Structure 1
Amino acid sequence: MASTKQFNVGIIGYGLSAKVFHIPFIALTKTLVLHSIVQRSPAPTNSAPDDYPALAAHHTSAAPMLADPAVDVVIISTPPDTHFALARDALSAGKHVLVEKPFVPTSAEADELAALARSRRLVLCVYQNRRWDSDFLTVQQLVREDTLGRIVEFETHFDRLRLEKPTTWKGRLGMQQGGGVVYDLGTHLLDQVFVLFGMPTSVSAKLVNQREGRLVTGEGEDEQPDSLSAVLSYARTGLLVYVRAAVASAEREQMRYWVRGTRGSYHKSGLDPQEDMLRAGGKATDVGFGREGEERFGRVCVVGEEGKVEERVWPTAEAETYLRFYELFAEAVGSGREEDVPVPATQAAQVLRIIEAIRESARSGGMLLLSKIQRYVSQVKQGSRSS
């Protein structure tokens, strides 16, 4: 039976993530109550105290919030180089924790936080909201129902025309700190691939700075690739997964998915509309929220009678919306059970292992077996314990 107890939520960070992806959904989740916000430097045009004057508390640092026994849940929506320390401190203070993606820079850090949460019997969740994108739910349905037959190639894109370098942490942090395209957009793409197909056998990848016109080896701490091209291989089924993100893609309709199977294929352009709707002030409870019009539907080609290929419009699944993530997260907080967490830290750690393989492949210029990354992570952990 679902818990009816209400839990007080504190948010660390007051940027776009907190304002668009978290606070509106806390307000729509019955068992969660926004209690307090940490904003380091409120300004006249960007002030949590002005926007939410009725909250129990406002802080300019995390320590007072973490020391407050009234706070049950902490949401971390700060730049990724701060995530590990804040999550560790919040768990140590006895709080359930939700961390924005990218989770942490390394799988070893993810494993450490997961173990800490388990030892304290606390919920630790990663905000991978795009598991609830309507187009991804459509792809899941096609794969689950075997509409396309055995999947032989899966292509997933996050391409844009963004030739100006961001002025936020996305343009400041290097990969060592959880910055760069592979941690930002790549995390979304790789998380979806992981949900669909699990861990690959091997990875081959190139990291590129398309804005500057050069390959990125990943050897320098400040390296900031803005584009990614990777091939993930699955030895057991022969599946090849192509993961691509670019900032120099001049298209009227950006490709999102191209899925090919033994009995058919699916092609989809454009992004799930939820983020744009939220940025425009929409709410998940609005009529039509997250739904696409027919002009944005994908296309399915199937092999019909006598081997003839037939194409048809394929309606995008009705979005469960990002509210479903919050409902599941609240249920996990209520139960306190790790198995109820919608995106557990252990899964985020596996995605980080894929990222580490991508980085190593880009550095070495060759294909990397995932087993090598697993051994490397194990060696790092053993070295840390013995030091």
Structure 2
Amino acid sequence: MGPIKPPYNVAIIGYGMSAKVFHIPLIQVTPAFNLYAIVQRNPTPDNDASKDHPGIKLYRSSEEMVDDETVDVVVITTIPTSHFELCNLAMERYKYVIVEKPFTPTSKEADELINIAVNRDLFLSVYQNRRWDTDFLTLSKLVKEGTLGRVVEFETHFDRHRPEAPTGGWKTKSLPGGGGVYDLGTHLIDQVVVLFGLPDRITGFVGSQREHNPEGVEDSCTVLLHYDSTGLLATVKAGVVSPEVNQLRFWVRGEKGSYKKFHLDPQEDQLKAGEKPGDAGFGLEPDDRAGTLTIIKDGQPKSEPCPNIEPVTYSTFYDQFAKAIEGQGEIPVPVEAEGPKNVIRLIELARLSSKEGRTLKVKEHYAEVD
């Protein structure tokens, strides 16, 4: 694909919450991108992309859209079972691709897509937006600067109290690439791997916490990531039975100190409310939601509030993707697909570990999930 000049025409496949909340607002605040087209198979009077965004092209099928030579970037926001097919379709027409997480239901599919992108000299990136959660970036700074010392326990949570099974929508179905470990665990495992790299061993507990679960959806998970060389144990938890006023987000303990944080990054709720990056207060948490940093001083633990660093916001993803196109390979895409592929690999191993009731060596047992 030859060099192209901004603004780059973006087409989105799918018009659900992901497109409306996590992608369109960010595209709209990125000067290098133009919201050009949306693929919506079945518009309704109260859910019609062409009415919400006058002037765009509305396509009924992805096949018709990818034949439009003026489309530069395709953003895939559909269900995980469609990701491989749609990524492949877009790259066959030499489009740059952004795909929602989870990348694909299997690491084999992810690996194949990576090879296609490399062979066609195309940019392929996975929307792991929570790499830009401000509390995660704050914690990352503490870890990298050595404030906590050698980290031995790293807990990352995405717990909610939703004991009743939801009705309607693909997330209520037991599908490949579905369930809690793919939905929320993907974010959490990705954050751990970004910060510490791949673990040596993995122990998974994947299943359902709901008493009534007619579809058999794996709604919850606990995944232990063992790092033998440092002694680190990273615990990833996503549960649906957690009756807490304030849900735990991070609890990290090291030889010099600890960091504890409640509440989720506010950007998702702000985007749902119609706010955008650049608006006053976007990405900022109230002072009373600051994490707590405890440091050993004079042999005793001393605690103090640990406010988040200045937010860089989810719009960074689109800014960096635009820069990658402008640099034509000199600048990497914001999330290189190899990382999310490894996350899918770990999810496969976590599910295998859970099924067989044993801890697995990551490298040694990878072939067992093919």
Could you say which residue in structure 1 is the equivalent of 2:180? 181
The structural deviation recorded for 1:114 is 0.5
Per the TM alignment, residue 271 of structure 1 is displaced from its structure 2 partner at its CA by: 0.2
Give the secondary structure class of the aligned counterpart of 1:154.
Answer: strand
SS at match of 2:35: strand
Contact kept? 1:156, 1:189, Cα under 8 Å: yes
SS in 1 for 2:11: strand
Separation in structure 2 between the aligned mates of residue 365 and residue 234 of structure 1, nearest angstrom:
19
Measured after TM superposition, the shift of residue 371 of structure 1 is 1.4
Deviation at 1:4, TM superposition (A): 6.0
1:75 and 1:170 map into 2 onto residues whose CA distance is 20
Shift of 1:270: 0.3
CA distance in 1, matches of 2:207, 2:361: 21
Tell me how far apart the structure 2 counterparts of residues 162 and 358 of structure 1 sit (CA, whole Å): 23
Paired amino acid for 1:334: E
Amino acid at match of 1:82: S
The aligned residue for residue 310 of structure 1 is 302
Cα distance, 1:339 vs structure 2 = 5.6
For 1:292-311, what aligned pairs fall within 5 Å after superposition? Answer: 292-305=285-298, 307-311=299-303
Paired residue secondary structure (2:136)? helix
TM superposition shift of 1:49: 1.5
The CA distance in 1 between the partners of 2:331 and 2:109, in whole Å, is 20
1:46-101 CA-partner distances (Å, limit 9, x unpaired): 1112112211x211110111111000100000011100000011011100000001
Report what 1:21 is aligned to.
22
Question: What letter matches 2:270 in structure 1?
Answer: M
Counterpart Cα distance in 1 of 2:46 and 2:137: 38
Q: Provide the rounded CA distance (Å) in 2 between the counterparts of 1:213 and 1:158.
A: 21
Alpha-carbon contact 1:102-1:184 (below 8 Å) kept? yes
> Contact 2:323–2:331 at 8 Å: present in 1 too?
no
**1:150·1:261 contact (CA, 8 Å) conserved in 2?**
yes
SS of match in other structure, 2:342:
helix
List gaps (5 residues or longer) in structure 2. none
Q: Deviations over 1:236-270 (max 9, x none)?
A: 11110111111010000000000000000000000
Structure 2 residue corresponding to 1:357, chosen from 324, 349, 353: 349
The aligned counterpart of 1:373 is 365
**Which secondary structure does the structure 2 equivalent of 1:182 belong to?**
helix
Equivalent residue number for residue 261 of structure 1: 254
Report the Cα offset of residue 326 of structure 1.
1.1
Correspondences of 1:262-341 after superposition (within 5 Å): 262-305=255-298, 307-337=299-329, 340-341=332-333
Q: Please name the residue that 1:385 is paired with.
A: none
Give the SS at the match of 2:180.
coil
Distance 2:174 2:319 in 1: 32
Change in CA separation of 1:198 and 1:18 when aligned onto 2, cut-off 3 Å: same
Whole-Å Cα distance in 1 between the matches of residues 136 and 262 of structure 2?
12
SS at match of 1:340: coil
| Equivalent in the alignment of 1:64 | 64
Q: Which residue of 2 aligns with 1:234?
A: 227
Indicate conservation of the 8 Å contact 2:13/2:38, yes or no: yes
Note if contact 1:159-1:254 (Cα within 8 Å) is conserved in structure 2.
yes
Asked if structure 2 preserves the Cα contact closer than 8 Å seen for 1:135 and 1:316, the reply is yes
Aligned to 1:203: 202
Q: Which amino acid aligns with 1:200?
A: P
1:100-139 alignment to 2 at 5 Å? 100-139=100-139
SS across alignment from 2:305 = strand
SS in 1 for 2:114: helix
Q: Residue type of the partner of 1:350?
A: N
Give the residue type in structure 2 aligned to 1:26: I
Kept in 1, the 8 Å contact 2:208–2:216? The answer is no
CA distance in 2, matches of 1:134, 1:187: 18
Asked if the contact 1:40/1:59 (under 8 Å) is kept, the reply is: yes
Aligned to 2:238: 245
- Give 1:163 shift: 2.2
Partners of 2:286 and 2:99 in 1: CA distance: 32
CA distance in 1, matches of 2:6, 2:59: 25
Tell me the distance in 2 between the aligned counterparts of 1:268 and 1:312: 12
Query: What stretches of structure 1 of length at least 5 have no aligned partner?
Result: 215-221, 381-387
> Which residue type is aligned with residue 318 of structure 1?
E
Q: Is the 8 A contact 2:174 2:218 kept in 1?
A: no
Match of 2:24, SS? helix
AA in 1 matched with 2:141: Q
2:180 partner amino acid: V
Which residue of structure 1 lines up, in the alignment, with residue 171 of structure 2? Answer: 170
Q: Deviations over 1:155-214 (max 9, x none)?
A: 01000011232322111142xx10000100000000000100110011111112111279
TM-score, scaled relative to structure 2: 0.96
Check the 8 A contact 2:12/2:76 in 1, yes or no. Answer: yes
Alpha-carbon offset, residue 376 of structure 1:
3.7
Provide the residue aligned with 2:53 in structure 1.
Answer: 52
The Cα shift of 1:317 comes to 1.6
Is structure 2 residue 90 aligned with structure 1 residue 97? no
SS in structure 1 at match of 2:242: coil
Residue identity opposite 1:359 in structure 2: R
Q: Is the 8 Å Cα contact of residues 148 and 262 (structure 1) preserved in structure 2? A: yes
